[in-house]
Chains A and B, each alone.
Chain A
């Protein structure tokens, strides 16, 4: 049995705002019968067409899908459209006191329906999303990754990024991608790597020109913060012996010392240093 919070149970048993708004200003519909869950969200705006005065939903899905829809409608009522767009799937989950990770896709579905409704109302291009009904045509561009649930790379990357996901399993829990035939799991892993790579780039732009001192400092920082923690995870370690121009000499310690794959480890260190410090770095393994 799922470990639902009391708030999830309460919103499932007594959902708020069930139904449709006949003269709704904005309607967003995501999901399908085949996918196993779907949400149709109705928004009614005030006279100035700025603020949401009423929100209703119709949901087909499990307990947490219904609770997430109920929470979403409660959260957006009274907000302006711009404020509503700030609502994240994590906030929906938080509103309910949290969701089991396997059920996070329910909160993502809520956020998607909201974005879609507002985009359609404003007549702007629909945000790239998953859950296409026929799983063939992809609205809003992007490439289809998960054929079972009709999810695109752009959508998946967005969810990976905003929820800081690091494993394919998490991506399945948040979006359902890869949860049926599993054929797209390798692609999902690539997308995670891409997102992580992009974030790193943003976080750590290579300095344009390095003084010798700065370069040495940077090499030390990368070894301390990026390389050694990864080696520790496998029971290994390394020590910086010397830096001579672009040549970095390291000695492997603990499990890395005498490890048959230390050649690969040296390559990994070199790649990290080239990526984060300078393209011309050569790593040498020395006994020290």
Chain B
């Protein structure tokens, strides 16, 4: 069975061109870029090129790019650095819908005496900047807010938030793991101090990430013990993977317009058709500015795991904000923060597309999902009074 992969916010296919770019750096060009000999030196040149390619996608300078092992490491490094830079400040502002890479770190810090403010979101998953203005003070070391939400695709007004942080003398970090490669970013005209991205979300392999650190932004390294990355991240470079990430960023730049237009059209069509064919649905974050590739659709009176298992039987790979799939017992913290009604919080499914998604695949989902929902609703003791005789 050929898979229909619509779970690109979880991870993406490595682009064949990206893989070709990295391939020689395992068995042939395996030199250490720090070495004095020609063999390491030629790898150093490719590392520099990769750094420039990543910088180009972000509108940043090459020396502002710090390669890390993953988005989570970038997030952790940014938060820890801010606290070390401002040892006297004891306050961090974040939001209730952040990725666990940020949220868990913040909640752990709250147990160690830091004051954490988690900004709320409205029913569409939007941030209220007035709440940020009210919460920020001279004690605030860091404001860390995600660029776009992984579950709903809702985009936060990051530039405005970064300006508010700057005015108060706090550092500003954004977890842009879901945004990079999907929407244009330009650090040259931004107030963002630090930004995290992850390779495997944009068709590079797993195990490579970046922390962008603006020139002049004070920074303390998370990993120490080597001069690599100008002393900002010790450890021998993951050369093959970062070269791959460079290529992936170059390709993301080329395909950005396609992502913005063709992928969005497919997403919108999927949303439109599913909403028309399945009664009692709701688009999570539908009223907000969203990533072009993400659709989070809640269906009343059914539970997400059953939907995913039945979709999987048809080869369709999606994900859910439901409890049962993750081993947790509550719907996702994102949907709860948005106050998604409990009648449908358990039945939320996320489809996340990529430039490899085809119209035919979208057609298959539109054909297969409605009968699956009907089948599960027929099995459910709830909703008869609302759904009537479907």
Which label, helix, strand, loop or mixed, suits the secondary structure of the A interface?
mixed
Interface digits, B1-44 against A, CB 8 Å rule (1 contact, 0 not)? Answer: 00000000000000000000000000000000000000000000
Task: Tell me if A180 counts as interface (CB < 8 A to partner B).
Answer: yes
**A33 with B343, Cβ < 8 A, contacts A60-B382, A179-B329, A180-B330 known:** yes
Residue in A66, A102, A148 whose CB lies within 8 Å of B379: A66
Interface hit among B111-119, B252-260, B299-307:
B299-307
On chain A, which size bracket covers the interface? 20 to 34
Tell me the smallest distance from the CB of B170 to a CB of chain A, in Å. Answer: 30
SS class, residues of chain B in contact with chain A: loop
Does A78 reach chain B (CB closer than 8 Å)? no
**Contact check: which of B302, B343, B381 meets A29 at CB < 8 Å?**
B381
**Who on chain B is nearest to A100 by CB?**
B327
Interface size on B, residues (CB 8 A): 26
A60 with B303: CB separation less than 8 A:
yes
- Beyond A33-B342, A33-B382, whether A61 also contacts B324 by CB under 8 A is yes
Q: Is A179 within 8 A of B328, CB to CB?
A: yes
**Residues on the B chain within 8 Å of A39, using CB:** 381
* Interface residue? B273 (CB, 8 A): no
Task: Give Cα A136–Cα B135 distance, bound, in whole angstroms.
Answer: 35
Nearest-neighbor residue (CB-CB) of A18 within chain B:
B379
The complex places the Cα of A180 from the Cα of B336 at a distance, in Å, of 12
Could you tell me the distance in whole angstroms from the C-beta of A29 to the nearest C-beta in chain B?
7
Identify the closest chain A residue to B336 (Cβ).
A180
Is A36 within 8 A of B309, CB to CB?
no
Instruction: Determine the chain B residues whose CB is within 8 A of the CB of A65 once the complex forms.
Output: 303, 324
- Residue numbers in A under 8 Å from B350 (CB-CB): none
**Residue among A12, A33, A172 with max Cβ neighbours from chain B (10 Å):** A33
B74 at the interface (CB under 8 A from A): no
Query: Which residues from 339 to 381 on chain B have a C-beta closer than 8 Å to any C-beta of chain A?
Result: 342-343, 346, 378-381
In the assembled complex, which residues on chain B have CB atoms less than 8 Å from the CB atom of A40? 381
Nearest-CB distance from A119 to chain B (Å)?
A: 19
State A124–B302 Cα separation when bound (angstroms). Answer: 33
Q: Which of B325, B381, B382 has the most chain A CB atoms inside 10 A of its CB?
A: B381
Q: Can you offer 7 A-B residue contacts whose CB atoms are under 8 A?
A: A13-B313, A33-B342, A33-B346, A60-B301, A62-B304, A66-B379, A179-B328
Extra inter-chain contacts (15) besides given A36-B324, A59-B380, CB under 8 Å? A9-B309, A18-B378, A33-B346, A33-B382, A36-B303, A36-B322, A36-B329, A36-B331, A37-B303, A58-B381, A60-B381, A62-B304, A63-B305, A63-B324, A65-B303
Q: Which residues of B contact A (CB under 8 A)?
A: 301-306, 309-310, 313, 322-325, 327-331, 342-343, 346, 378-382
Residues on A lying within 8 angstroms of B by beta carbon are 9, 12-13, 15, 18, 29, 33-34, 36-40, 58-63, 65-66, 102, 148-149, 172, 176, 179-180
